[in-house]
Amino acid sequence: MVKSSEVGEPLKVTTMSSATESPISSLHSVDLPLRMRMSLRLTWLLPPHMREALLFGRAWWCPHAQALMHKLSGYRGDVTISLRSHMQGVKLSASALEKYPYMREHFELPEQQFIRKWVLSGDHVFDVGGHIGFMALYFASLGAKVCTFEPSPISFGRLQHNLALNPKLEITPYNVGASDCDAVGYLSPCGSMSALGWSGNEVHLIRLAPLMKVLRPSFLKIDVEGHAGSVIRGMALDAMDTSLPILMIETHNTGEHDAVVEHLSGTYDLVDLDHSVRFPRRIGCVPKCSPRVRTSECR
């Protein structure tokens, strides 16, 4: 069940059974132009790693390949698809100009593998920087109880739409951002790359520490376009706590990356998930003294 929560409201989590719907056609937007439907179906014939490398990788030709693909499809509206594999039966609505319709359930596979290793059914998970909800849906499809935080009013509306498409998944959305203090900030509207700054839409910011004390999340995904250091400070992590959460963080510049390393390197083992020296970079952070670490004692 989806419950939208504003700043100051008590957190409510409602238990619901996981989705049992069997997937029908991968494309639910049957009124899509023929060129768009053909573009998607032809792209889906490629193996996921090839799709990623050709269209969304870091090579110089990828932006040109995307531009050509969008020109050939001739469509800029929304697409609703049914996901499979670990997300069997989950529906996702996304713009035809975004990566989601083309990668489908294969979106960010290295991150998915890290998540599956550590997230168990029944865990509380915080999705910080929820965007349109793909990762929140992924966590919930694994049986987790998810709180997702998205300050952008535009992205939050799209997030709510995707949660409404999957009402049996246990996700609570919050139209707030996370930081190191409770305050009002400004968000520059730029889709998945919206970032806090000195101008833009006025948004509410909160510290995560009070909610973490109540729910004790075992896993947090943090993707906040340069603001991860402030989010970590607002979590008030205690190095002596043996139930520290596992973290998965995306960094977007050297300053943000260095702040994450500075805050966590003494308490966490940091793993480069996509083995890249270019930004964005994804880091898996596992507490050195965690009951979930598959060793007999703390290192």
- Report residue 83 as tokens: 């996901």
Spatial CB neighbours of 161, under 8 Å, sequence gap ≥ 6: 93
pLDDT score of 79? 94
Cα angle 65, 51, 101; round to 5:
90
CA dist., res. 129 & res. 222, Å (int): 6
pLDDT score of 29? 55
Closest CA to 204 of 234, 233, 175, 235: 175
pTM of the predicted model, to two decimals?
Answer: 0.86
From first to last of its 299 residues, the chain has per-residue pLDDT tens of 444 444 444 333 222 233 333 333 466 655 788 999 999 999 999 999 999 999 998 899 999 999 999 999 999 999 999 999 989 999 999 999 999 999 999 999 999 999 999 999 999 999 999 999 999 999 999 999 999 999 999 999 999 999 999 999 999 999 999 999 999 988 877 765 666 766 678 999 999 999 999 999 999 999 999 999 999 999 988 866 768 999 999 999 999 999 999 999 999 999 999 877 789 999 999 998 776 665 434 54
Spatial CB neighbours of 114, under 8 Å, sequence gap ≥ 6: 248, 271, 273, 284
Contact 280, 226 (CB under 8 A): no
pLDDT score of 196? 72
- Report residue 40 as tokens: 């998607």
- Helices and strands, counts by H and E, the chain: 10, 13
CA dist., res. 111 & res. 109, Å (int): 5
CA dist., res. 10 & res. 215, Å (int): 12
Q: Delineate the domains of the chain, giving CATH numbers in brackets.
A: 34-105 (no CATH), 107-287 (3.40.50.150)
* Cis ω before 280 (30° cut-off from 0): yes
- Name the β-bridge partners of 271: 284
CA dist., res. 94 & res. 97, Å (int): 8
Q: Within 10 Å of residue 63's Cβ, how many Cβ atoms?
A: 11
Spatial CB neighbours of 134, under 8 Å, sequence gap ≥ 6: 92, 94, 100, 107, 162
pLDDT score of 292? 67
pLDDT score of 198? 66
CA dist., res. 68 & res. 91, Å (int): 27
29 alpha-carbon distance from chain centroid: 24
Cα angle 93, 40, 105; round to 5:
55
- Report residue 27 as tokens: 């494309």
